Amino acid sequence: MTVEIGKLALLAAETEAAQQTADLLREEGDFVPLENADAAVVLGGDGFMLQQLHAMLDERRVIPAFGLNLGTVGFLMNRIKRTRPLIERVARAQPVAVKPLCMRAHTQSGETREYHAINEVSLLRETRQTAKLEVHVNGRKRITELSADGVLVATPAGSTAYNFSANGPILPLTSNLLALTPISPFRPRRWRGAILPDHYEIGFRVIDPDKRPVAAVADQKELRDIDEVTVSIDTSRTLTLLFDKGQTLEERIVAEQFVT
């Protein structure tokens, strides 16, 4: 499958390697401002790619993104190689749809905020006191009291990140599932999380928030001292990542399960 690209924007992280690569790519061809582009070439690591995807969501103008890895892991990125012109690589790239989470959080002070997450939404204890959370799925109470360092909801795209480090499952990209994973759980002792359809809404209520304050984090955005949080897929917006043939995000998620 090819992608109709037309005009490309170039977005580079502030690192020396990203800036040097951007200078080399500008010699290959012309780039346009992001607002006029049909697709974006993103130079940096996974963190920088997430920043750019979030900016698209915030500005409500989402275009396909082709990443070139100049960071550490580069799970969302393509390899740097000079085998063919960049514009040809982007045109031949395989698109992968990524559906973001929407987190709605209410704080103790009465404030309500809404943030998006591409990888995961995490609820984390703010002090040495264990967090205590009530867990709801589609409006039904499933756990009366979860005692843990926290809990997270991960998308398939984010299931190999923090979720996997917390012993959560790796989800195939096309699975239409979410991972609900506790972080260092104490009670219930035997609960290790759940795999849920991605059209479900997951809710959390903080028990005794004054004594046991909890922060909610949507990828890189944090809101402290929360009372309640709901998490669901935002069906109104879909992100598109572009990958070289044979290097799709789905293949990487499958391959990650065989790393020893």
| Residue 5 pLDDT | 65
Q: Is 164 annotated as a binding residue?
A: yes
Please check whether residues 38 and 65 belong to one and the same domain.
yes
Do 56 and 176 fall within a single domain? no
6 labelled binding-site residue: no
Per DSSP bridges, beta strands 112-117 and 177-187 are unpaired
Domain for residue 12, yes or no?
yes
Look up the CATH number of the domain holding residue 83.
3.40.50.10330
Q: Are residues 14 and 94 in the same domain?
A: yes
Burial of 139 (0-12, 13-18, 19+ CB in 10 A): exposed
Report the domain count for the chain. Answer: 2
Would you write out the chain's pLDDT as a tens digit for each of its 260 residues?
444 567 999 999 999 999 999 999 998 878 999 999 999 999 999 999 999 999 999 887 899 999 999 988 788 899 887 767 888 889 889 998 899 999 999 999 999 999 999 999 999 999 999 999 999 999 999 999 999 999 999 999 899 889 999 999 999 888 899 999 999 999 998 899 999 999 999 999 999 999 999 999 999 899 999 999 999 999 888 999 999 887 777 777 777 777 76
The catalytic site residues sit at 46
Bridge partners of 81, per DSSP, are none
| Terminal-to-terminal C-alpha distance of the chain | 33
172 and 247 inside one domain: no
DSSP 8-class letter at 78: B
| Closest to 25 (Cα-Cα) out of 71, 74, 89 | 89
Domain that residue 44 falls in: 8-99+238-256
pLDDT digits (tens, 9 = 90+) for 108-153: 999 999 999 999 999 999 999 999 999 999 999 999 999 999 999 9
Distance of CA 46 to the CA centre of its chain: 10
CATH code for the domain of 147: 2.60.200.30
pLDDT given for residue 1 in this prediction: 42
* Residue at 36 is within a domain: yes
Would you give the distance in Å from CA 153 to the centre of its chain? 10
Residue 244 annotated as lining a ligand binding site: no
pLDDT of residue 257: 73
Look at residue 20 and tell me if it is in a domain.
Answer: yes
pTM: 0.85
Same domain, 74 and 188: no
Kindly state whether residue 3 falls inside one of the protein's structural domains.
no
